[in-house]
Chain A
Amino acid sequence: MSTRIALLVGTPKGAFILDGDAARRDWSLRGPLCEGWPVHDISLEPGSGALLAAAGSPWYGPAVWRSEDLGQTWTHSSEGLTYGDDGPKIKTVWNVTATDDTIYAGVEPAGLFRSRDRGATWEHVAGLTNHPTRLEWQPGNGGLILHSIVPHRTDRERVWVGISAVGAFETRDGGATWETRNKGVRAGFAPDPYPEFGQCVHKMVMAADGGEHLYQQNHCGVYRSGDGGRNWEEITTGLPSEFGFPMAAHPQDPKTIWTIPLNGADRGRFMPDASAAVWRTNDGGDSWIRSGEGLPEQAAFVGVLREAMAVDRLDPVGVYFGTSTGQVYGSADEGRTWAMVADNLPPVWSVEAAVLD
């Protein structure tokens, strides 16, 4: 069977799938899927290849949707996706991340759930909610949301999560206990710019080598860590702005990541000078390279949200992102040149790239 690419796109009007060929030039659109539910994130379950969609309906509540036939048919469940009858009501699911044996879901208000039966039932990871700092968590502009879920590649007991306006946490005991992982990350909007928690992580990813190397795009800069988030080093220098949302890591090279700076939290949150560009580092953040070839050079008042950038695992790696104004762009040469993949979609909330062999 020849290799194909499917771009999984989450929007407020449902999921869409862009089916592409191996050359990553020709694309066809399917959707809206998931009955038009707002979909914040779509990911692929390792092994089974099932699609998982993190969603929340304004009428029918939160659920994780599942498709085992590449989006032709779907089931959904929120059984157990609750803080209990006395707890806060869950608005939506922001992120779904699967490992070989566990699916994690990050929800609003911020909390982590997991499923060990392929999404049929869910269990609250209460250890995070019971963290001593919980009563002081405050929502960010997008709400009190748990959006980044980063499982360790080999150690099943270790998971990192990112919560907007709260920061990063790590568990090393399968979710029973959690520690903050924000040392060295600025909170430029706070009286103490380096608090234990309260940093506004926007997206956290693991480097290709797995294990201890992490990167994050924050409200206040871009950071790397070489020790599993115990210490962070700012690598914003060379970028046009410290503010942005998405980040993607190269699947083989641990020193290559991509980010899309926006002009600032209080300046409209579009690309600097309204000129679209993706920025790449090949040296772990020591230097940055701007790439705008093929993207709108002017009057591009577009933003890109935290889940709306993805990479595939082909050689050279494909990079994709979706905009707040409904375009999807793709690069088949690791982000050096770009072409439009789709236009006139609803605002794009998430993009994931699935390689179908």
Chain B
Amino acid sequence: MIDAARPADVHLPRSLIALFPGAPRRIAARGATVAELIEDLDSLIPGLRNRLLDAGPSIRAHINVFVGGERAALETPVPPGAVVHVIPAVSGGSVVRRG
């Protein structure tokens, strides 16, 4: 059930908001789970869902979501007023192309 009174306090990384001109680093969003929260974020910042989620759906391999400081999955509950951080993993910067 979405708590309409107390949205989560979502912190987004610079490299993500750079893809959406005008998007804020910090945004209030609603959802009872991380999955619902990302759907709400997508309504606020169209296209954001595709940047965070892969097929499955699953959180992309090199994206970490923390709820209240704890590593979260899509089904993780988001308590009212929770602080949520979306952080690119340090494992994600390598680009290998052979040929």
Contacts and interface: CB of A to CB of B under 8 A. Distances in A.
A59 B92 contact: yes
A85 B55 contact: yes
A349 interface: yes
B55 A87 contact: yes
Interface residues of A, number: 32
7 contacts: A38-B95, A38-B97, A59-B92, A60-B63, A73-B21, A142-B99, A305-B99
Tell me if A's interface is mostly helix, strand, loop or mixed.
loop
A88 interface: yes
A58 B93 contact: yes
Q: Which 4 A-B pairs have the closest CB atoms?
A: A60-B51, A59-B92, A12-B95, A58-B92
Given A59-B88, A61-B60, A306 B19 contact: no
Interface in B51-99: 51-52, 54-57, 60, 62-63, 88-89, 92-95, 97-99
Contact of A306 (B52, B63, B99): B99
A35 B21 CA distance: 12
B55 A84 contact: yes
A83 B55 CA distance: 8
B23 interface: no
Contact of A59 (B50, B63, B99): B63
Nearest to B96: A12
Nearest to B58: A89
Contact of B97 (A81, A89, A349): A349
Q: Which of A82, A83, A84 has most B Cβ within 10 Å? A: A82
A50 to B, nearest CB: 18
